[in-house]
Every structure is written in structure tokens, then in C-alpha cells.
Structure 1
Amino acid sequence: MIEIHQFPCLSDNYGYLVHDPESGETTCIDTPDAKAYLAEAEAKGWKITHIWNTHWHPDHAGGNEAIKAATDCTIIAPQEVERISAIDQIIKHGDTVTLGRFVAEVIDVGGHTNGHIAFHMPEAGVAFVGDAVFALGCGRMFEGTPGQFWASLERLKALPPETMLYCAHEYTAANAKFAVHADPENAALSAYADEIADKRSREERTVPMPLSRELETNPFLRADNPAMQTRWGGETPQETFAALRAAKDSF
């Protein structure tokens, strides 16, 4: 059974260490804070053997070099990470990587950055999605296009609905406010937003989240819903997504 250790990093990032107890291998999912990762691994008694980066931003790959220096781990990442860190193995959509006997499928989720990827581990029923999608939200479109980003979200939407999504930030309370504004007649969303407010009032995490719930409530994943297209004036899902993303940027 794969083990996932989640912990807070920086102001609102989540760090993840994924461990295969049979092989003893442990990978960092992104590296926002090298000191935190090294301390958490030491506390767990795990040796970091790999880093899997989702994209190049410093709050995702900024700790690569320090962790590599401390552990001699293997850095596996999309090519764009070369902007800030050396890479041992460059990966792209359709590739697979392994942690012990567990296999992760690499998925192109470009849009937030052009080379952004996600790691889907089917046997474990989890996906590490970085900033591609959040609970009730998605990443800002810094480098991509609406069509590119929507195609990325479609790839995530096609995963098994029971997949647990591990995103990189605790943005859910703010995302919920926009989501209710974007899709006010969605009863499932209203209930989800109330649950989130209750959890955050007690400083509880809202991540990970099941894909099935996001499919039902996340406005960005619902850009192909006819009611959303009517409300947001898009003739295509890409146009609806673009309208939603622009609205969220100024919300």
C-alpha cells in the first residue's frame, strides 16, 4: 500500500512525500520548501530517492537543488523545470514513472504553464495535479491558452471518478466564493461550500478531494455544461472556460 504524507509548506502550499514501504523508495511531489521536506522525511524515517515535479514555478521546483544535494535523489520533471533546476530525467505526456512497484502515468495538463504535468497512480487511486486544478478551482492561465487549458481539464475529467486529487494549495475557501457566484443554482456546490467553510473555521484541510465531487461542483470542470455555457455566454466549452477564468482573475 502506498503511503502519502501531506504537510503544509510556505504560506499556503501543501507538500507531499509518497512512500513505497516495500522498496523503501520515497518521492517528493514538487519541492516548495527543501528544509520542510527534509525534516518531514527524517521524522518519518524515509529516505528521499526521487523528486517528481509538476511544473517549473519556484514554489514547486525551488527546493530541487537543496534536496538533491542532501539526498542524491533523482529529479524527474517536465523539460520546463530546466529554467530553475537541473533534471535527471525529462518526462512528457504518455510517459510512466515508477516508485517501487507503483506506476504513475504522466498527463499533460498545460495551461497554468505550458509544460505542466500531473502524475496519476491508477493502482493507488490518486493523482497529483499541482496547480492544474484545485478544489473548486484551477490555476491561473499564466502561459497557456483557453483551448489548451480546457483540453488539459478534459484529460483530468476522464480519470476514474473515485480518483483522489492532491493539489498543491489550500485555496478552497476563496475558490468556493467564486464558484457559488459562477454557479449559484448548483445545490451540490452550495452544500460543498458550507462544508468547506466549516472545515476551514477549524483550520482543517480540504485537500485531497474526490474527482467525482469536483465534476459535480467545480465551475471550471463544468464549462461543458449547457447551463454554465448559457450563464457565461460561451458557445463552446473553451469559450465558457475562458470567460470563467477571466472572471475569476478579477473576482
Structure 2
Amino acid sequence: MQVHRLPALSDNYIFVLHDTQENVAAVVDPAEAEPVLRFLDKIAAVLVAIFNTHHHSDHVGGNKQLMQRFANLRIYGGGEDFGRIPGQNVFLREGDRVQFVDRIGEVFFVPGHTRAHIAYYFPSNVADEPGDLFCGDTLFAGGCGRLFEGTPSQMISSLSKIRALPDNTRVWCAHEYTLKNLQFALTVDGNNPDLQARYTQVKESRSRSEATVPSLLGIEKRTNPFLRWDNPHLQAAVKSDESVQTFARLRGMKDRF
């Protein structure tokens, strides 16, 4: 399974999964249809599935047009997103499995950003090779999603599921927010040498308009404050000794940053 990253809208990423042997494709969170259609025409592949993480328009905006072009699409989304994702015909819950050709993906229920958000994790079929996590707006490189429909406690629970995955997991998050996320992270974790080095690298990459997605989960565990709510240095930075309160204060600070 090859993963192709397509830029869309102002800062979105759409991900196309491509099986070169059968020349079929699936798309994750098609913000708009045109970039997907252009790419599929270029590789002459047939779209067979849409994997939606949540209902926001910048993740499902291309569904209807893709449905018009390709018949019998399987359109996946969270069970609690019933009626909110255009064309949805598969309703997923925690622990369900999805399949794209020879890859089996695990479904995580990760409410917080929205009440029905899910993520897809495709472990590698090859030992010691990285798996692929498609996490929508739950986890970002250097950050996490705003809490529009969920609570800090829910988001910690959701991010804990992600944090438990292998360090070499590729994190395919849906927006290019990394530089600003790391600028905020430095305000609460400025003495972290891993974070300092990452910021320098990302700043240089973005100066060349290079994408910072995918990230690696191991890097996120060392540098992303929203995966480190139980770190004593971060707790001290926000004057808290309790995980949910620490996370809530970090998220509130980021909202105002």
C-alpha cells in the first residue's frame, strides 16, 4: 500500500492509498474532489473506498462528487456520525476492522475534537516496518485538535490510545499546522532539547514549502505537549499536578495563542 499526500484547500492534506498490483485506491478525508480525481486519472486507478475520520466539511467535502464518478463506493465513518457524513454506508465503532486490499486497519473511537471522531491504524504487514495512522484532527504534528464537541477527559482517553502505538508509526494528520504548533510548544516546554531541534528542522522545511506530514509517533511522544499531560515539567509550567487539568490548561493556552 502506497500513501500519497495531496494538498487541498489552504492547509489540508488528503491521503490516497494506492495498491499498485490491483491498481485500486482509497482516499482518507477528501476535503475536495478535484485533487483526488486529478491524481486518480494520473495513475489510472479506480477508487473503491472513502475513509472519513469525522464529519467536518474540510474532511468530507469531496464525498458527493467522488460518489458521482465512482459507483458502489464503500464510505466509512464513525457510527455516531450517522446523518453527518455524505453518502456514508459503513458505520464503525471501537475495535472494528477495515480492509484495503491486503491491509487490515484497526478502528479507534477518539472523541474530543468531535463527539464521533474515529482514527484508522494500519499495522505493517512486514516485521519492523512502520504502520500508518490516519487520525484526522485528533492528533497533529506538534499539537492536537480543538475540543469542539468533546471534553479534555475524552481527548486524553483518545490520545492515550494513539500514544500506545509503536514509536515508528507514521502519523498522517490532516493539516499543515506543525510550525505554529511547535512555536506554542516552546512557550511551555522551551528547555526540551528534542523540541528545540525539531523546531529548527521544521522552520527550515517550511521555509522551503516542504510538508511536515507524516510525522513519527516517537517524535510526537518526545516533543508534543498534548501527548505529555503527565510530564512533571509541563505540569509545573501550567501550575497543575493532575493530568486532565494539565491538558485542559494547555489546550486553553493554545486556543488563545
- RMSD of aligned C-alpha atoms? 1.1
Q: Decide which of 150, 153, 158 is 1:152's aligned counterpart.
A: 158
1:93 Cα deviation after fit: 1.2
Q: Give the SS at the match of 1:130.
A: coil
- Percentage of identical aligned residues: 40
More off after superposition, 40-49 vs 94-103: 40-49
Is 2:75–2:90's contact at 8 Å kept on the other side of the alignment?
yes
What's the counterpart of residue 114 of structure 1?
115
| 1:205-224 matched pairs, under 5 angstroms | 205-224=211-230
Is 1:61–1:81's contact at 8 Å kept on the other side of the alignment?
no
Q: Give the SS at the match of 2:225.
A: coil
- Give 1:30's aligned amino acid: D
What's the counterpart of residue 103 of structure 1?
104
Q: How big is each residue's C-alpha offset from its partner over 1:82-119, in whole Å with a ceiling of 9 and x where there is no partner?
A: 22413111111110000011000001111000111110
Q: How big is each residue's C-alpha offset from its partner over 1:203-226, in whole Å with a ceiling of 9 and x where there is no partner?
A: 011010100000000011011111
| 1:154-193 matched pairs, under 5 angstroms | 154-193=160-199
| Counterpart-to-counterpart distance in 2, 1:46 and 1:6 | 16
More off after superposition, 75-84 vs 86-95: 75-84
- Unaligned regions of 5+ residues in structure 1, if any? none
| Counterpart-to-counterpart distance in 1, 2:97 and 2:143 | 27
1:235 Cα deviation after fit: 2.5
What's the counterpart of residue 77 of structure 1?
77
1:22 Cα deviation after fit: 3.3
What's the counterpart of residue 255 of structure 2?
249
| Counterpart-to-counterpart distance in 2, 1:155 and 1:195 | 28
| Counterpart-to-counterpart distance in 1, 2:22 and 2:92 | 22
Answering whether residue 204 of structure 2 is matched by residue 198 of structure 1, we say yes
Q: How big is each residue's C-alpha offset from its partner over 1:162-219, in whole Å with a ceiling of 9 and x where there is no partner?
A: 1010000001111111011121111110010000000000001101010000000001
Is 2:108–2:118's contact at 8 Å kept on the other side of the alignment?
yes
Is 1:111–1:145's contact at 8 Å kept on the other side of the alignment?
yes
Is 1:56–1:81's contact at 8 Å kept on the other side of the alignment?
no
Change in CA separation of 1:81 and 1:45 when aligned onto 2, cut-off 3 Å: farther
Taking structure 2 as the reference length, the TM-score comes to 0.94
Is 2:54–2:85's contact at 8 Å kept on the other side of the alignment?
no
| 1:228-243 matched pairs, under 5 angstroms | 228-243=234-249
| Counterpart-to-counterpart distance in 2, 1:182 and 1:18 | 36
Answering whether residue 30 of structure 2 is matched by residue 31 of structure 1, we say yes
Taking structure 1 as the reference length, the TM-score comes to 0.97
Is 2:82–2:91's contact at 8 Å kept on the other side of the alignment?
no
| Counterpart-to-counterpart distance in 2, 1:169 and 1:100 | 26
